[in-house]
């Protein structure tokens, strides 16, 4: 199934790893944020890698 929603739960440490892995979806604004209104399915591999790489495990996505 395609990823249709991405969010970041509380506790971001602003490490910037997600923005390095997938700058099309994640950006830093004090802490990590998710770009809205894009087709997340185009970046599924990078979103999953960012979620797996997050040191505090707060990147979530829904299919």
Whether 44 and 3 have beta carbons less than 8 Å apart is answered as yes
pLDDT at 8: 98
- Is there a contact between 54 and 20 (Cβ–Cβ < 8 Å)? no
Residue 16 pLDDT = 97
**How far is the C-alpha of 42 from the C-alpha of 47, rounded, in Å?**
10
pTM over 0.85: yes
Residue for token digits 């970046």?
Answer: 43
> In which region does residue 26 sit, left (phi positive, over 0), alpha (psi from -120 to 50) or beta (all else)?
beta
Choose the CATH number for 5-62 among 3.40.1800.10, 3.40.50.10490, 3.40.50.2000, 3.30.70.20. 3.30.70.20
pLDDT digits 0-9 by tens, 2-61: 999 999 999 999 999 999 999 999 999 999 999 999 999 999 999 999 999 999 999 999
The answer to whether residue 1 scores a pLDDT higher than 90 is no
């Amino acid at each position: 199934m395609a990823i249709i929603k991405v969010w970041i739960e509380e506790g971001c440490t602003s490490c910037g790893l997600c923005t390095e892995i997938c700058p099309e979806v994640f950006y830093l604004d004090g802490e990590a944020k998710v770009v809205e209104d894009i087709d997340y399915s185009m970046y599924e591999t990078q979103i999953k890698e960012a979620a797996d790489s997050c040191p505090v495990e707060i990147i979530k996505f829904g299919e």
